[in-house]
Amino acid sequence: MSTAPVIHLRHSSTVLPVVGSEQRVPTLLGEWLDVANFDHGASTPALLAVADAVERASTTYSSVHRGKGWNSRVSSALYEAARAEVATFVGAREDDEVIFTRNTTDSFNLLARALPRDTTVIVFETEHHATLLPWPARNTVRLPVPASVADAEALLRTGLKETAHLRGPRLVILNGASNVTGEYWPLDRLVPIARRAGARIALDAAQLAPHAPLDLAALDVDWIAFSGHKLYAPYGAGVLAGRRDWLDKAAPYLSGGGATATVTTQGTTWQTGPARHEAGSPNVLGAIALAAACATLREHRRLVTHREEDLTERLVEGLRAIDGVETFSIFGEDHDRAPVVSFVIDGLEPGLVSAALSAEHAIAVRDGKFCAHLLVDALLEDAGVEARSAVRVSAGLANTDEHIERLLNAVESLATRGPRAAYHVVEGEGWVPVEDPRDLSVTLPW
């Protein structure tokens, strides 16, 4: 695979080129500006290297594993090479397996279906709904939002102690990085606690994988899950990687072709390994896209890390310096984080803030509770603010230095003077400009 060109740091456009970086959109003020995309936490644009890999693979796209034609053999080889690339990216151990899924939510629902009977799941209420909700309610222990790293340790010890008498294995769900605050979870402190209690560990790496190296062995976790659409590969693929024993003993996640070894009138014998849970025609191009993203980020990890450290520092310090802006954290303001910050502006509804940033400044952010309702509610209550939701800024490789300055200037302007235009709430859409001269009709791409 060709190496993506690298453009160096602080006064650069981007570290690695992404699709759509030259897109310009109209504002209410009549300007055409390039999009300042601060919604990486929801979905990232594709790296050009990833889009190129998909385009090349499309020329030989065909069915995998069962076809005898040349293109089928090529596609099968690419699909399994993608699995091997992802295994390298996550530091898979010799007996680990990599299963391609649709996304992180799909991965954790698959794991939930594979739990042995009487498994007790221990999970913090800080979690994204994808890792909070899939587990059987009667066998799940939820730990409250911690107030500090030490509190998180104490809560986990208590949860493990109170479940020590229960029959069956225990599974602890941990997060790599919060999708609300961007903070890196203290895995080096929490994983040993779970291990000493004999529990297994599943790691939500959806927000960690774009920002930091993954290594199943070094992290000492049993499973890891993440999504391509948060890793600059938005082509509909995700991953569950880790120990095979529970997965090989569980009923197939989907029943159908590819998962079967034999089917007779007497019954069905199922495959073991990844095929057991990948029934049906797989998302070959999605898997290739994900592998291309893994390979590109792994090759350029040092440059990406340096750039994101710069983005994080400027975002956090810049937003905290604005009067009337309240930012949030779980473990304390000095805790290490990815370039993700959630905030509110005094007196302005978060939905209005995000609408004004978009319409007046071509800045894309997200408002709401970010599929982490329990955490956002706790943070808002602890801060004593009146808002019932927040605004999230999540930066990444699509952002330039000008985007950072534009965002900070726009937030300061909103905090000082409010929006320039009038907005109202439209059912099903939220806050929108009262008068919008822009042509919002969508041109279909087909």
**Whole-number pLDDT of residue 6:** 30
Helices and strands counted in the chain (H then E):
13, 19
Q: How far apart are CA 193 and CA 172, in angstroms?
A: 10
Burial pattern 153-191, b for ≥16 Cβ within 10 A else e, equals bebbeebbeebeeeeebbbbbbbbbbbbbbbbbbbeebb
- The Cα-based distances of 269 to 100, 255, 435 in angstroms read 21, 11, 63
Domain residue limits at 174: 50-299
Same domain? For 276 and 127 the reply is yes
- Would 328 be classed as within a structural domain? yes
- Average pLDDT in the 402-409 region? 98
One domain, residues 214 and 260: yes
Domain C-terminal end among 245, 267, 299: 299
At 66, the pLDDT band (50, 70, 90 cuts) reads confident
The token pair that represents 199 in the structure block: 């529990």
313 and 233 in a common domain: no
Q: What is the pLDDT of residues 72-125, one digit of tens each?
A: 999 999 999 999 999 999 999 999 999 999 999 999 999 999 999 999 999 999
Q: Are residues 118 and 261 located together in one domain of the fold?
A: yes
395 & 331 share domain: yes
Q: Which residue has the tokens 């040993």?
A: 192
Q: What integer pLDDT is reported at residue 441 of this predicted model?
A: 86
Asked if residue 362 lies in contact with residue 20, where contact means CB atoms within 8 angstroms, the answer is no
Mean pLDDT value across residues 223-242: 98
Q: Are residue 161 and residue 263 in the same domain, yes or no?
A: yes
Distance of CA 429 to the CA centre of its chain: 24
274-289 average pLDDT score: 97
Q: In this predicted structure, what is the pLDDT of residue 440? A: 83
Question: Do both 182 and 307 map to the same domain?
Answer: no
CA distance 85 to 431: 43
End position of a domain, from candidates 277, 299, 321: 299
Together in a domain, 99 and 34: no
CA dihedral sign, ordered 66, 72, 77, 81 = negative
Do residues 192 and 308 share a domain?
Answer: no
Answer yes or no: is 19 within a domain.
Answer: no
Report the b/e string of 341-378 with b at 16+ CB within 10 A: bbbbbeebbbbbbbbbbbbbbbbbbbbbbbbbebbbeb
Helices 301-320 and 284-299 cross at an angle (nearest 10°) of: 80
Give the DSSP H/E element, type plus range, for residue 382: helix 373-383
Domain boundary residue, one of 299, 326, 361: 299
pLDDT at 1: 33
Determine, yes or no, domain membership for 339: yes
pLDDT(7) > 70: no
Diameter over CA atoms, the chain: 74
Residues 278 and 405 in one domain: no
- Specify if 5 maps to a domain: no
* Whether residue 265 is found in the same domain as residue 357: no
Pairing of strands 267-270, 260-264: antiparallel
Residue 12, domain member (yes or no): no
What is the rounded CA–CA span in Å between residue 375 and residue 80? 38
Nearest of 290, 297, 385, 296 to residue 345 by alpha carbon? 385
2 has pLDDT over 60: no
Q: Which residues are catalytic?
A: 371
- Say how far apart CA 210 and CA 355 lie, in whole Å: 27
Whether the Cβ atoms of residue 38 and residue 405 lie closer than 8 Å to each other: no
Q: What is the pLDDT of residue 442?
A: 85
Mean pLDDT of the region 383-406: 96
On whether residue 413 sits in a domain, the answer given is yes
CATH of residue 283: 3.40.640.10
Q: Is the C-alpha dihedral spanning 9, 12, 17, 23 positive or negative?
A: positive
User: φ and ψ at 4, to 5 degrees?
Assistant: -65, 140
Listed range (14-23, 53-62, 170-179, 209-218) with the worst mean pLDDT? 14-23
Please report whether residue 15 resides in a domain: no
Average pLDDT, stretch 383-391?
A: 95
What span, in angstroms and rounded, lies between the C-alpha atoms of 301 and 295? 10
* 7 part of a folded domain: no
Q: Are residues 324 and 275 in the same domain?
A: no
Residue 313 CB: number of other CB atoms within 10 A? 11
For the chain, the domain total comes to: 2
The helix (H) or strand (E) run that includes residue 141 is: strand 140-143
Average of per-residue pLDDT across 317-346: 97
Kindly report the pTM of this predicted structure: 0.94
Per-residue model confidence (pLDDT) at position 11: 32
